[in-house]
Structure 1
Amino acid sequence: MKTIYLVRHGQTIINKYDKIQGWCDTPLTDKGIADAKHAGEVLKNIPFDIALSSDLGRAVDTCDYIIEKNCNHLTLQHIASPFFREQFFGFFEGMNSDEAWQMIGGPHGCPRRQELLLKEKMSVIKDYIHEADPYHDAEDNKAYWKRLDKGFKLIKELDGAENILLVSHSMTIRSIVSRYAPEIPLVPGPANGSITILKMNDNDIKVTEYNKTEF
């Protein structure tokens, strides 16, 4: 059984200004650094066997701040992978969040993100994002999970790694929770620096904690 401590990266500049941030990247704010350090403090006594993150800078930096505080920091290896990136939003990257979600959810009677998250599964929302993108470059559900499943395959193949740190992104955490624990409401979403815990065996993944900042 593997335990995955899934952390959302700290606040970024684009988060602060409430814009869509998928594969585009901006630095952590001072608050974002504090978010990361707080997560590190909460998790400092978990003897991580390996640290994984999205390869986007905000996730890499958050992971490094967490590692600095960990009891295994002297030997802990950090692997950054595109498998754990955020949803790719295509045309909507960097757009004002309210404007983007109006375009995505408006045709389906949900002009606000929260309304859409309360009404639809993440799998449906991903297809809406792809559909609404004028270039159709945004990931749909099939493309997204083809990528993420490669990440989970990587984790399964990590022999001897039982406690795993994984730093990723808001929509990705929501997507994982939606797939493996659909009974958990996705509103509110995971806070910057929050911790979600997954238990993985050969056949299944269970979500045992969601969106925690303290234990």
Structure 2
Amino acid sequence: MTKYQIYFVRHGRTFYNKLHKMQGWSDSPLLPEGIEVAKTAANALKDVAFDHAYSSDTTRAMNTAKIIMNANKKDLHRHTIPEFREQFYGYFEGMFAAETWFIAGEKYGTPTYLGIAKKFGFDKTFDFLNQADPLNFAENAEQYWERIGRGFEKLDRIANDGDKILLVSHSTTIYSLAQRYHAPNLKITETPLNSSLTILDRDNGLNSVSTYNKVLK
């Protein structure tokens, strides 16, 4: 019987974020402004007694986690957990986001990311992109959620009752968890900001997002 909290923090702003490009499993460096907003988050979280510190295995997430934990009162070793990477965009990695979602959704009459999610449901953003990928590399919803499930299983094996876990992750990853598991009174209307905080409570394998996209000051 284990109940613990995951403090999901989106990484700091990167070069690809500024260009509005699909980043996914690709990587680009944190911008100076991304480092600064990560430092702001670090200061806001410095007194949280984390029991474990994780990030995805992308450089942008690892560097953000390093900034946060260097300011924290707990001297924890940081680990990586690849299962909480961003969505894999396959053929569309590095392309401009507006162009990508036009290709994925135009034939369905919804040529935007949020338009697809609103009209067809969030999981169709994965499936439409997979269908549009000429190489069939982009993750579909089934593949994506299977990966995320493996990540939770890993955390379940290390977490003790009452633990607080830092996990630096990504926009779509955090947004997808909030869409699927948010508490009834919590409105999810936009993707999370860089270095914002989302808290997921995991109680004996059941998830509930109680805080979403909180700007840390």
* TM-score, L = length of structure 1: 0.94
**CA–CA separation in structure 1 for the residues paired with 2:156 and 2:67:** 25
Measured on the aligned residues, the alpha-carbon RMSD in Å equals 1.6
Query: Which position in structure 2 is the counterpart of 1:84?
Result: 84
**CA–CA separation in structure 1 for the residues paired with 2:130 and 2:101:** 12
Specify every segment of 5 or more residues in structure 1 that has no aligned partner in the other structure, as ranges: none
| C-alpha deviation, 1:177, in angstroms | 1.1
| C-alpha deviation, 1:204, in angstroms | 0.6
User: How many residue pairs are counted as aligned between the two chains?
Assistant: 213
| C-alpha deviation, 1:123, in angstroms | 1.4
Specify every segment of 5 or more residues in structure 2 that has no aligned partner in the other structure, as ranges: none
Query: Which position in structure 2 is the counterpart of 1:209?
Result: 211
1:173 lines up with 2:174 in the alignment: yes
| C-alpha deviation, 1:209, in angstroms | 0.3
Alignment map for 1:1-215 (pairs within 5 Å): 1-72=3-74, 74=75, 76-160=76-160, 162-181=163-182, 184-214=186-216
Letter of the 1:114 counterpart: L
CA contact (8 A) 1:4 1:197 kept: yes
**CA–CA separation in structure 2 for the residues paired with 1:171 and 1:182:** 18
> Residues 6-37 of structure 1, C-alpha deviation per residue, up to 9 Å, x if partnerless?
00000000000111110000000011101211
> Residues 60-116 of structure 1, C-alpha deviation per residue, up to 9 Å, x if partnerless?
0000000011110x2x12111211110000011000111011011112211122322
CA contact (8 A) 2:183 2:209 kept: no
**CA–CA separation in structure 2 for the residues paired with 1:87 and 1:101:** 14
| C-alpha deviation, 1:118, in angstroms | 2.9
> Residues 115-169 of structure 1, C-alpha deviation per residue, up to 9 Å, x if partnerless?
2233332212111111111111100011111111111011111143701000000
CA contact (8 A) 1:121 1:178 kept: no
**CA–CA separation in structure 2 for the residues paired with 1:189 and 1:54:** 18
